[in-house]
Amino acid sequence: MAAQIMLKNPGLAASEAVFAGTGPLLYLVVWQYLQAGIKVKALLDTTPRANFYLAMGKWLGACYGVGYVRKGLALLRGIKSAGVSLIKEVSELEAIAGGESGISTVKYVAKGQAGSIDTQHLFLHQGVVPNINLAMASGCQHYWHDQQICWTPEMDQWGQSTQTHISIVGDAGGIGGAKASAWQGSMAVQNIACMLGRHTAHVRDQNSRKWRQKMAARACISALYRPAV
C-alpha cells in the first residue's frame, strides 16, 4: 500500500494519520509506522461482524497456522500499547475536504455510533488482488472469486491451470502471503513430478500433507478479512 511505500522513503511518511480498511496488511503497516517512531492517530477496521461467523467454520485450520495467530496477536498488542485508537466494525467512512491540505476530518459510523477524527492524512486499504496479467495473456481461464472480490485464474488444488503446461502459485493466483506462496510452490512441484511419472499420486499426497495443513490457516484468514462491498 502507499503508506508502506512512503515509509521506505525518508521524509515522506505521514505522521498523525488515520488508517482505515481491513486485512492483516493494514495492521502490519500501522505497526511498522509505530516501530519507525511515527505517530498514528487511529486505526478504523471496516471488517464486518458477519465475517467472523463466516470464518468460524475454518478456525480448525488456524490451529495449523499458530504462527499467523501469534504474529497477529503481537501486532495487536503493539498497536494498543502505543495508544493508537482502534475502532472496529466501521462503516460509512467519509473524508471531509480541508482546504489546500487535502482533508481535515474523517467521519465514520461504528456499531451504530457516528464519530469523527481530525486529521490531514487518511490511508485506505481494502485488501489486495492477484496479478493476473501473465495468466490472462497465456490463455488461462479465470473466474470471479466472490471471497477476494476479484478475477482469479481457474486452478485445481495443486495450482494446475486450465493450460496443461502451466501451473500458477503465489500472488499470480491469489493472495496468501510469502509463506503461503512457498507452500503452494512446493505442492505444485510435487504434482508436476507426479505428472512426469517421477513418483505416484500417493507419494505426492503424503509429501504435500504438511503444506496443505498450513494452507488451511490461510482459508480462515481469507474468510475473516473478505473486503466489504
Please state the domain count of the chain. 2
What is the predicted pLDDT for the residue at 122? 94
| pLDDT by position in tens, the chain (length 229) | 677 777 777 677 888 999 999 888 899 999 999 999 999 999 999 988 877 766 666 665 555 555 666 777 788 889 999 999 999 999 999 999 986 768 999 999 998 899 999 999 999 988 788 899 999 999 999 999 887 788 999 999 999 999 999 999 998 988 777 888 999 999 999 999 999 999 999 999 999 999 888 887 666 777 677 776 6
Here the CATH number for the domain that contains residue 22 is 3.50.50.60
Query: 81, 101, 125 — which closes off a domain?
Result: 125
What is the predicted pLDDT for the residue at 229? 63
Q: List, in sequence order, every beta strand (DSSP E) within the chain.
A: 17-21, 40-45, 85-87, 90-97, 103-110, 113-118, 122-125, 142-145, 150-153
What is the predicted pLDDT for the residue at 66? 58
Beta-ladder partners of 122: 18
Within this chain, do residues 190 and 91 fall inside the same structural domain, yes or no? no
* CB 18, CB 121: distance < 8 Å: yes
Residue with cell 481530525: 118
Query: 107, 125, 143 — which closes off a domain?
Result: 125
Residue 179 structural domain: 133-224
Cβ partners under 8 Å of residue 115, min gap 6: 87, 107, 108, 109
What is the predicted pLDDT for the residue at 149? 84
Residue with cell 503444506: 211
With respect to residue 185, please indicate whether it lies within any of the assigned structural domains. Answer: yes
Query: 95, 125, 155 — which closes off a domain?
Result: 125
Residue 106 DSSP symbol: E
Within this chain, do residues 33 and 142 fall inside the same structural domain, yes or no? no
Cell digits of residue 203: 507419494
Within this chain, do residues 7 and 119 fall inside the same structural domain, yes or no? yes
Within this chain, do residues 116 and 52 fall inside the same structural domain, yes or no? yes
Q: Distances in Å between the alpha carbon of 111 and those of 2, 76, 79, 84, 171? A: 28, 20, 21, 19, 34
Residue with cell 519507525: 36
Within this chain, do residues 163 and 70 fall inside the same structural domain, yes or no? no
| Max Cα distance, the chain (Å) | 67
With respect to residue 229, please indicate whether it lies within any of the assigned structural domains. Answer: no
Closest-CA residue to 48 (of 23, 68, 79, 19): 23
